[in-house]
Amino acid sequence: MQQRTIKRTVEMVGIGLHKGEPIRLRLEPMEVDSGIVFYREDIALSIPLAPDSVIDTRMATVIGNETGFVSTIEHFLSAVYAYGIDNLRVIVDGNEMPIMDGSAISFCLLLDEAGIVLQNAPKKVLKILDTIEIVKEDGKYVRLSPSRKAEFAFEIDFEHPVIGRQSYDFTFSTKNYIEEIARARTFGFAKDIQMLQSQNLALGANLQNAIGLDEHKVLNPEGLRFDNEFVRHKILDAIGDLMVTGYNILGRYEAFAGSHALNYQLTSALLADPSKYEMVTIETVGTEAFGFAYA
């Protein structure tokens, strides 16, 4: 299997979740072994995608440096992972990605519009060789372990009548991602949104780009897209956070009450310990199913 970029330049405009302002997003092809590079057009700043570029994980995954940053990259990167894209220039004219409908489906449609082209170099993936995990005292954890497939298992437990305890086990393929994960939206609680907006955050949040909940029910008139949309979105986030490594991962990801912060700690710990992973091409992985996942 070869490295991938897009066939043509494409763009879209959407609202930023926190500032509530229009953000123009443009995607451009890049050469072999270029990786994923974010570019702030308004301040002429390039930010390579890597755990070292992460500067904040409190409310979203944010990459940048002392000059500037790009926030809320995880939904977009989740779609990039799903399409197996290795080399891409991601251009925005503000400090966050557009939130679109709060899921990854709009980014999938944009990548469909751009088309995928195979490049003249083998695709590299991170193969997990040994289990690595981050465990917190309150029982929260994230874990990567060896597997012949790319798998994601997530469990959440919220004291809310609509959410409660949910779990989902997902075996990755591009087709499965689009059908099972891509449309799952981010969610928030009305009481938290009011507090955030008083701090000039989440100014773009509304029921068109998130699932809203009060103390008892879902506020969106259309309801949920899946009965367990909340845990499916957590998998969407996790896939995007793993893509911060710049590579697709061959292994099993598991989490209980995982978060952007825990995912960042996991990817950082992984790359800091060469005994836990191996950089391989799909042809040398020894499992045809993983290559077919991107068909």
Listed by start position, the domains of the chain span: 2-123, 125-292
Please list the residues that pair with 11 across neighbouring strands. Answer: 26
Specify the pairing of strand 164-171 against strand 151-158.
antiparallel
Nearest to 73 by CA among 268, 295, 245: 245
18, 75, 233, 260: the active-site residue: 260
Residue 287 confidence (pLDDT)? 63
The domain defined by 125-292 folds into lpxc deacetylase, domain 1 (3.30.1700)
Structural tokens at position 3: 């490295």
Task: Tell me the C-alpha distance between 221 and 217, whole Å.
Answer: 11
Do the domains 125-292 and 2-123 match in fold? no
Tens digits of residue pLDDT in 201-233? 778 889 999 999 999 999 999 999 999 999 999
* Structural class in CATH, domain 2-123: alpha beta
For the cut 80, the answer to whether the pLDDT of residue 35 exceeds it is: yes
Enter the pTM of the model: 0.95
pLDDT in tens, 57-109: 988 999 999 999 999 999 999 999 999 999 999 999 999 999 999 999 999 99
- For the question of residue 260 being annotated catalytic, the response is yes
